[in-house]
């Protein structure tokens, strides 16, 4: 196959599309982390006293914790004193986008989020987080008419302290784990969503995260509360510029669904994955957890993970309410030297709770892709039901695929099923498509897309298109 | 009770065992071969270094062994109940009345408290089959032992090291090239239960080229008092050979049992393991295999049927080191009353082990609200041209099936018993040795009836 490999090499040289750096004036903190930095951060954001204390408390528990290393990923030690914990565009748009730095607007346009245009056309409300601060939230007024709150979390701390105090840290407590504690201490911004009783959010809410500045870490915090009988679909996208060194991203996302509420959370994660030799890239260490608190509530996670040098995250659902439902649909793609250890936890507490897990891993190049999941049926979770399926696809003989499913069943009325397969793309499948005049690259892309279809179907329309494009880019050149 | 010192990932070995090891050394008075001395020396250091695992160690996450460590079990090397004729007589009756192993074979080796009992054994000598107690073999067949002993089983935890230090007796089975032995070889380990003892049986099985054999290992106890059995069996199978191995853990409901079977497979060889756990308070089985030659094949079948407060933990590791191998694993568990089951099945496919086929399945049936199961199938794959699947299920007796049977006039108790038996039979059908299969099947039915009877009261 000499000809093919030439083509493939050309394609393989295609670089990360979102790797540009926007030269705008930034305001940053000195490197390092200590109480003063946290106080400074809190003051900068004009936070109330309770918030500062909350952060400090988290910081103190973080100091006592050890960085966990049980995941199936390997990376050089992180020096937490060598990171800037705050970076913000200097001219912060206060009232409208017209005041924003034109460079910033350009950056967002390059990323494909035309804030202006979306206002008019797409009907997607966007909250864009640039490095550490939220720069613009569109469509806010329109949502406010329905009583929906969609704003940056800093704003929410000031405007809706009661709601924030009640729910912040209720699903992921600051002491939950090392990275959650770090995030609780230093989170700079993120999104806050509150859907009032009985309201069905008329549009998809969306956040775009971007790390721009050098040597900064991004620590955003998202809190979504769906009150009784409400519905919201939330999208999240991420990109970062190309840099030689690794950057840390440690976010926390908390979802709370009350009686009969439904939250659908979709992520397309495309942080810079590092170059072919594994240099640079984002360390994506994220804690995402949803609490299906009310009866008949539902939380659904859909994720497409194609970026990051290291992905380490387990979007989970605690099924507390009776008859609540948890879902997890994931496609994780690793190429070159990327490493991913991702999966989910479904903790069944309520009666008649149901969960579904569909995970599709694709590893290519020299990457390693692990699925790690826990399904726990507690003693009181009568008639709980789980179905898990995790498939791995291997492309090339230098990559690895691993599955670590944990099933803990403490109730005999539970029905738990787990299935996993690992395989490569069948030569007969490729042959079949070749025979019908489809080139090898296209055939593989077709097969891979078909393989991921189950998950893509769960994504909102625009994201599904983007995800399928991302998938082909991520895997380009990996077939030979 | 020994004072135990728990560090984060380790429980320090207690003075008790160190002291007893010294006594044993004096007792042996240098009568053991040099290479064994070296192994013991390394093992002792290792035992001090790694200690025993806590639940912080991933492989021991669901099994708490503190109650084993804090008891001062007397090493059976230093007790002499096995010489007592009354106990020998009692053992004889126990074997004869045993539902599973009685009248199975003419080749039988019996060990009481880890010591070989000649009058109960029948190890006929043949040209092609060397079958003798390990301690005897250490003197007579030094060469083969030196070549294979402790070559495959790594010291993964303190228990393995403990066995290296205190191993008493067991079998050496050497099946020479081109030998087909149809008569199964039955090995019986009996805990006399006269004192709280630890026995450390140790077996070595070497199968030459183009040969076939069948080994049945059984563990039983005479009295219902806490005893500890810590066993290692090492198996080496040469090209084109076949070994079928059975293990029955049928000790008393107060016994502790930690067992390891480590197998090395050469080209085109086949190892089939049947692992049954019915007895023991805490039972942990590690069954590891390395498929180290092209075309090698391994089949693991397991059934655990536990009740009361029993805890059974099965860990299996299938390591595909060479291409074109096949592995198949099928474990089923029935958990009644307050019992707890753990299953961890790991498949590794090494770099370059292309065209691997690996299958694994674990199915569990919970019969009571207090029974618990933690199952973790695991795949680690570093080659791309492979086909691996695993599956795990947990459920209860299907109400629809029960209804179906009852609507046909079968009472509930019988219907339940029938369904449990059918569940177990799916594993038992893989036993090609029919007399044994029928016995085990009957045993399962009886166990089930006992549990149902208890429910009636």
Q: Which of residues 118-177 of B touch A (CB under 8 A)?
A: none
Angle between helices A427-435 and A440-456 (to 10 degrees): 110
Q: Region A138-167: what's the mean pLDDT?
A: 84
B398 touching chain A per CB within 8 A: no
β-strand B129-133 against B171-175: which pairing, if any? Answer: antiparallel
If pLDDT is split at 50, 70 and 90, which confidence band does A2 have?
very low
The two tokens of residue B233 are 């069996």
> Within a domain: residue A95?
no
CB B292 within 8 A of CB B320: no
The pLDDT assigned to B222 comes to: 93
Residue whose tokens read 């408390």: A57
Q: Which of A334, A362, A409, A448 to probe by mutation at the B interface, max B CB count within 10 Å?
A: A409
Phi then psi for A425, rounded to 5 degrees? -70, 125
Which of B378, B388, B391 is opposite residue A404, by nearest beta carbon?
B378
Give B-chain residues touching A475 at CB under 8 angstroms.
Answer: none
A389 touching chain B per CB within 8 A: no
The two tokens of residue B448 are 């089930």
The pTM (predicted TM-score) of the whole model is: 0.81
Which of A377, A394, A414 is opposite residue B381, by nearest beta carbon?
A394
CB B341 within 8 A of CB B370: no
Q: What is the SS3 assignment for A211?
A: coil
Instruction: Tell whether the model's pLDDT for residue A316 goes beyond 90.
Output: yes
Distances (CA, A) of B377 to A293, B6, B374, B393, B395: 30, 29, 10, 11, 16
Separation in Å, CA of A271 to nearest CA in chain B: 25
Residue whose tokens read 């942080």: A271
The pLDDT assigned to A34 comes to: 85
Which of A392, A398, A413 is opposite residue B396, by nearest beta carbon?
A413
The pLDDT assigned to B339 comes to: 94
Which range, A78-92, A215-229, B323-337, has the best average confidence (pLDDT)?
B323-337
Instruction: Tell whether the model's pLDDT for residue B388 goes beyond 90.
Output: no
Residue B127 CB partners (closer than 8 Å, separation 6+): B176
Which of B366, B380, B385 is opposite residue A424, by nearest beta carbon?
B385
Q: Region A33-41: what's the mean pLDDT?
A: 85
Count of alpha carbons within 13 angstroms of residue B383, beta-carbon side? 23
If pLDDT is split at 50, 70 and 90, which confidence band does A275 have?
confident
For residue A280, give the DSSP letter: S
The pLDDT assigned to A400 comes to: 85
Nearest residue in chain B measured CA to CA from A362: B384
The pLDDT assigned to B273 comes to: 95
State pLDDT tens for residues A50-67: 889 999 999 998 888 888
Helix (H) or strand (E) holding B329, with range, is: strand B326-335
State pLDDT tens for residues B88-108: 999 999 999 988 888 888 899
Q: What is the SS3 assignment for A246?
A: strand
The two tokens of residue B421 are 């038996």
The pLDDT assigned to B287 comes to: 95
For A163, the domain range is 2-89+127-475
Q: Region A279-305: what's the mean pLDDT?
A: 89
Instruction: Tell whether the model's pLDDT for residue B452 goes beyond 90.
Output: no
> Within a domain: residue A464?
yes
For residue A200, give the DSSP letter: B
What CA–CA distance (Å, rounded) separates A326 from A318? 8
The pLDDT assigned to A92 comes to: 44
Residue A173 CB partners (closer than 8 Å, separation 6+): A180
Judge: A412–B382 Cβ closer than 8 Å, yes or no: no
Q: Which of residues 126-185 of A touch B (CB under 8 A)?
A: none
Q: Region A252-280: what's the mean pLDDT?
A: 86
For residue A147, give the DSSP letter: T
Judge: B384–A424 Cβ closer than 8 Å, yes or no: yes
CB atoms within 10 A of CB B36: 18
Which of B444, B91, B382 lies closest to B248, judged by CA? B444
Give B-chain residues touching A394 at CB under 8 angstroms.
Answer: 381, 383-384, 386
Q: Region B6-26: what's the mean pLDDT?
A: 86
Residue whose tokens read 């009985």: A198
If pLDDT is split at 50, 70 and 90, which confidence band does B113 have?
very high
> Which sign does the torsion angle of CA A471, A473, A476, A478 carry?
negative
Which of B388, B390, B394 is opposite residue A409, by nearest beta carbon?
B394
Residue A451 CB partners (closer than 8 Å, separation 6+): A360, A362, A391, A393
What CA–CA distance (Å, rounded) separates A427 from B199? 54
The two tokens of residue A111 are 């990323």
Rg (CA), chain A: 22
What CA–CA distance (Å, rounded) separates A394 from A77? 29
Helix, strand, coil percentages in chain B from 3-state DSSP, rounded to 5: 30, 35, 35
A406 touching chain B per CB within 8 A: yes
A402 touching chain B per CB within 8 A: yes
Judge: A405–B377 Cβ closer than 8 Å, yes or no: yes
A415 touching chain B per CB within 8 A: yes
Nearest residue in chain A measured CA to CA from B388: A422
Judge: A394–B386 Cβ closer than 8 Å, yes or no: yes
Q: What is the SS3 assignment for A306?
A: coil
A439 touching chain B per CB within 8 A: no
The two tokens of residue A324 are 């609540």
> Within a domain: residue A58?
yes
What CA–CA distance (Å, rounded) separates B302 from B290? 18
Instruction: Tell whether the model's pLDDT for residue B378 goes beyond 50.
Output: yes
Instruction: Tell whether the model's pLDDT for residue A215 goes beyond 70.
Output: no
End-to-end CA distance of chain A: 8
Instruction: Tell whether the model's pLDDT for residue A120 goes beyond 50.
Output: no
Instruction: Tell whether the model's pLDDT for residue B214 goes beyond 70.
Output: yes
Task: Give A387: exposed, middle or buried? Use CB within 10 Å, 0-12, 13-18, 19+.
Answer: middle
If pLDDT is split at 50, 70 and 90, which confidence band does A94 have?
very low
Instruction: Tell whether the model's pLDDT for residue A404 goes beyond 70.
Output: yes
Q: What is the SS3 assignment for B35?
A: helix
Chain A, chain B: beta-carbon pairs less than 8 Å apart? 111
Give A-chain residues touching B375 at CB under 8 angstroms.
Answer: 407, 409, 418
Residue B231 CB partners (closer than 8 Å, separation 6+): B163, B170, B189, B199, B200, B201, B202, B203, B219, B257, B258, B259, B260
> Within a domain: residue A307?
yes
The two tokens of residue B404 are 């179906």
> Which sign does the torsion angle of CA B234, B239, B241, B242 carry?
positive
CB A269 within 8 A of CB A307: yes
> Within a domain: residue A109?
no
CB B385 within 8 A of CB A397: yes
In chain A, the number of structural domains is: 1
pLDDT mean across residues, chain A: 79
Q: Region B198-207: what's the mean pLDDT?
A: 95
The pLDDT assigned to A394 comes to: 84
B306 touching chain A per CB within 8 A: no
Give B-chain residues touching A396 at CB under 8 angstroms.
Answer: 384
Residue B218 CB partners (closer than 8 Å, separation 6+): B98, B100, B101, B186, B187, B188, B189, B247, B248, B250
CB atoms within 10 A of CB B428: 19
What CA–CA distance (Å, rounded) separates B296 from A471? 38
DSSP labels, A59-85: HHHHHH------SS---PPP-GGGSBS
B374 touching chain A per CB within 8 A: yes
Judge: A405–B371 Cβ closer than 8 Å, yes or no: no
Nearest residue in chain B measured CA to CA from A387: B393
β-strand A231-239 against A262-269: which pairing, if any? Answer: parallel
* Residue that wins the pLDDT comparison between B388 and B274: B274
Q: Is A76 left (phi over 0), alpha (psi -120 to 50) or beta?
A: beta
Residue ranges of alpha helices (H) inside B55-210 are: 66-69, 85-97, 134-140, 142-148, 158-166
Phi then psi for B82, rounded to 5 degrees? -65, -15
State pLDDT tens for residues A291-302: 999 999 999 999
Q: Region A383-398: what's the mean pLDDT?
A: 87
CB A340 within 8 A of CB A364: no
Q: CA dihedral in degrees (A175, A178, A179, A180; nearest 10)? A: -10
| List of E strands, A335-472 | 339-342, 345-348, 354-363, 368-377, 385-394, 400-409, 415-424
> Within a domain: residue A358?
yes
A70 touching chain B per CB within 8 A: yes
Separation in Å, CA of A85 to nearest CA in chain B: 32
Q: Region A399-410: what's the mean pLDDT?
A: 87
Residue whose tokens read 């569109």: A138
Q: What is the SS3 assignment for B441?
A: helix
DSSP labels, B185-219: EEEEEEE--SS-EEE--EEEEEE-TT-EEEEEEEE
Judge: A395–B373 Cβ closer than 8 Å, yes or no: no
Domain ranges of chain B: 10-292, 398-457
What CA–CA distance (Å, rounded) separates A390 from A357? 8
Nearest residue in chain B measured CA to CA from A396: B384
The pLDDT assigned to A123 comes to: 43
Q: Region A173-182: what's the mean pLDDT?
A: 88
Phi then psi for B183, rounded to 5 degrees? -70, 125
Which of B222, B220, B142, B221 lies closest to B174, judged by CA? B142
State pLDDT tens for residues B230-285: 999 999 999 999 999 999 999 999 999 999 999 999 999 999 999 999 999 999 99
Which of A397, A409, A422 is opposite residue B373, by nearest beta carbon?
A409
Separation in Å, CA of A420 to nearest CA in chain B: 5
Separation in Å, CA of A350 to nearest CA in chain B: 16
B27 touching chain A per CB within 8 A: no
**Is 0.85 exceeded by the ipTM?**
no
What CA–CA distance (Å, rounded) separates A466 from A457? 13
What CA–CA distance (Å, rounded) separates B216 from B276? 11
Instruction: Tell whether the model's pLDDT for residue A304 goes beyond 60.
Output: yes
> Within a domain: residue A99?
no
Instruction: Tell whether the model's pLDDT for residue B159 goes beyond 60.
Output: yes
A430 touching chain B per CB within 8 A: no
The two tokens of residue B19 are 């002291």
Judge: A396–B384 Cβ closer than 8 Å, yes or no: yes
């Amino acid at each position: 196959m000499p000809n093919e490999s030439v083509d493939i090499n050309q394609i393989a040289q295609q670089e990360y599309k979102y790797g540009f750096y926007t030269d705008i004036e930034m305001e940053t903190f000195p490197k390092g982390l200590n109480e003063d930095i946290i106080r400074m951060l809190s003051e900068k954001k004009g936070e109330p006293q309770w918030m500062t204390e909350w952060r400090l408390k988290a910081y103190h528990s973080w100091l006592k914790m050890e960085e966990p290393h049980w995941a199936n990923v390997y990376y050089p030690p992180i020096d937490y004193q060598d990171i800037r914990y705050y970076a913000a565009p200097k001219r912060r748009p206060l009232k409208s986008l017209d005041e924003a730095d034109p460079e910033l607007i350009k950056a967002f346009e390059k990323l494909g989020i035309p804030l202006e245009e979306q206002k008019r056309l797409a009907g997607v409300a966007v909250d864009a987080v640039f490095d550490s601060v939220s720069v613009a939230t569109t469509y806010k007024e329109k949502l406010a008419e329905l009583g929906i709150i969609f704003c940056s979390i800093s704003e929410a701390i000031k405007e809706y302290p009661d709601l924030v105090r009640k729910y912040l840290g209720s699903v992921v407590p600051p002491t939950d784990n090392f990275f959650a504690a770090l995030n609780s201490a230093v989170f700079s911004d993120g999104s806050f969503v509150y859907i009032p009783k009985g309201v069905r959010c008329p549009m998809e809410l969306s956040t775009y995260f971007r790390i721009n500045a050098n040597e900064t870490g991004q620590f955003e915090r998202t809190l979504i509360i769906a009150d009784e009988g409400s519905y919201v679909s939330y999208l999240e996208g991420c990109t970062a510029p190309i840099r030689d060194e690794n950057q840390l991203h440690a976010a926390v996302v908390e979802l709370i669904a009350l009686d009969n509420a439904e939250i659908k959370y979709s992520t397309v994660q495309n942080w810079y994955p590092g170059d072919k030799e594994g240099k640079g890239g984002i360390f994506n260490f994220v804690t995402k957890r949803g609490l299906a608190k009310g009866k008949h509530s539902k939380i659904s996670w859909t994720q497409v993970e194609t970026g990051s040098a290291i992905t380490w995250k387990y979007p989970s659902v605690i099924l507390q309410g009776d008859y609540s439902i948890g879902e997890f649909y994931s496609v994780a793609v690793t190429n070159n030297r990327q490493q991913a250890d991702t999966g989910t936890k479904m903790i069944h507490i309520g009666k008649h709770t149901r969960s579904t897990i569909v995970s599709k891993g694709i590893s290519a190049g020299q990457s390693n892709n692990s699925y790690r999941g826990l399904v726990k049926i507690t003693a009181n979770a009568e008639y709980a039901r789980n179905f898990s399926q995790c498939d791995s696809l291997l492309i090339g003989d230098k990559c690895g695929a691993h599955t670590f499913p944990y099933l803990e069943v403490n109730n005999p009325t539970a029905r738990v099923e787990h299935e996993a397969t690992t395989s490569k793309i069948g030569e007969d499948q490729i042959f079949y498509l070749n025979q019908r005049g489809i080139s090898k690259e296209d055939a593989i892309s077709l097969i891979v897309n078909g393989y991921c279809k189950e998950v893509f179907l769960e994504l909102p329309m625009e994201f599904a298109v983007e995800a399928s494009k991302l998938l082909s880019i991520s895997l380009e050149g990996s077939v030979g | 009770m020994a004072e135990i010192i728990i560090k984060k990932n380790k429980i320090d070995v207690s003075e008790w065992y160190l002291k007893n090891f010294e006594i044993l050394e004096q007792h042996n008075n240098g009568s053991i071969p040099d290479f064994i001395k070296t192994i013991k020396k390394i093992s002792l250091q290792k035992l001090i270094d790694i200690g025993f695992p806590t639940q912080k160690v991933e492989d021991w996450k669901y099994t708490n062994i503190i109650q084993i460590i804090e008891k001062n079990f007397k090493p059976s090397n230093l007790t002499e109940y096995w010489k007592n004729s009354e106990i020998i007589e009692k053992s004889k009756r126990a074997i004869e009345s045993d539902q599973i192993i009685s009248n199975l074979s003419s080749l039988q080796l019996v060990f009481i408290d880890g010591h070989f009992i000649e009058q109960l054994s029948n190890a006929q000598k043949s040209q092609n089959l060397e079958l003798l107690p390990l301690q005897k073999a250490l003197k007579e067949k030094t060469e083969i032992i030196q070549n294979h002993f402790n070559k495959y089983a790594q010291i993964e935890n303190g228990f393995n090291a403990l066995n290296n230090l205190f191993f008493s007796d067991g079998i050496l089975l050497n099946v020479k090239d081109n030998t087909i032995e149809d008569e199964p070889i039955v090995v019986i380990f009996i805990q006399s239960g006269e004192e709280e003892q630890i026995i450390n049986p140790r077996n070595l099985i070497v199968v030459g080229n183009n040969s076939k054999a069948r080994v049945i290992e059984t563990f039983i106890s005479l009295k219902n008092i806490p005893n500890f059995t810590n066993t290692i069996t090492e198996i080496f199978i040469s090209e084109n050979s076949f070994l079928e191995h059975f293990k029955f853990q049928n000790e008393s409901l107060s016994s502790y049992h930690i067992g390891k079977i480590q197998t090395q497979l050469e080209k085109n060889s086949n190892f089939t393991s049947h692992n049954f756990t019915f007895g023991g308070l805490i039972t942990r089985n590690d069954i590891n295999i390395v498929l180290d030659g092209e075309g090698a094949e391994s089949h693991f079948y397991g059934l655990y049927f536990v009740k009361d407060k029993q805890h059974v933990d099965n860990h299996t590791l299938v390591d595909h080191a060479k291409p074109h191998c096949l592995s198949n694993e099928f474990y089923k568990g029935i958990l009644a009353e307050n019992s707890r089951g753990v299953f961890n099945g790991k498949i590794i496919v090494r770099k370059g082990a292309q065209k691997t086929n690996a299958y694994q399945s674990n199915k569990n049936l919970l019969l009571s609200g207090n029974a618990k199961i933690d199952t973790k199938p695991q795949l680690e794959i570093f080659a791309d041209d492979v086909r691996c699947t695993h599956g795990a299920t947990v459920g209860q007796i299907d109400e629809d099936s029960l209804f179906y049977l009852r609507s046909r006039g079968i009472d509930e108790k019988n219907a339940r018993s029938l369904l449990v038996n059918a569940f177990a039979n799916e594993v038992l059908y893989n036993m090609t040795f029919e007399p044994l299969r029928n016995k085990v099947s009957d045993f399962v039915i009886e166990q089930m009836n006992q549990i149902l009877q208890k429910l009636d009261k």
